[in-house]
Amino acid sequence: RQRHSFEYGIPAPDFPGGKGESNHIGRATTKCVNTVEGKRTMGLESFEIKPHMTSGEKEMILQANNILNL
């Protein structure tokens, strides 16, 4: 829900309703998020499974990516 709100410039679920910044010229968009870390924080890029991770860590990453539809 947070990612959807950011992409459309509308208030996040934990803020009051309204149009938010949806009609603002020059508002932040997904193109403004330049780093992998930033993209992951915003739910715009999947988390990476690394070989050294435990099976529990790998499962958590898979679940997170699944929840985010990534």
- Mean pLDDT (the chain) is 92
* Average pLDDT of span 6-30: 87
DSSP SS3 for 41: helix
How would residue 60 be classed by pLDDT, with cut points 50, 70 and 90? very high
Task: Tell me the two tokens of residue 7.
Answer: 């992409």
How far, in Å, CA of 8 to CA of 2, rounded?
10
Comparing 37 with 2, which gets the higher pLDDT? 37
Greatest Cα pair distance in the chain: 46
What does the block give as tokens for 4?
């959807």
Mean pLDDT of 21-45: 92
Per the listing, tokens 């949806």 go with: 22
Confidence check: pLDDT of 58 > 80: yes
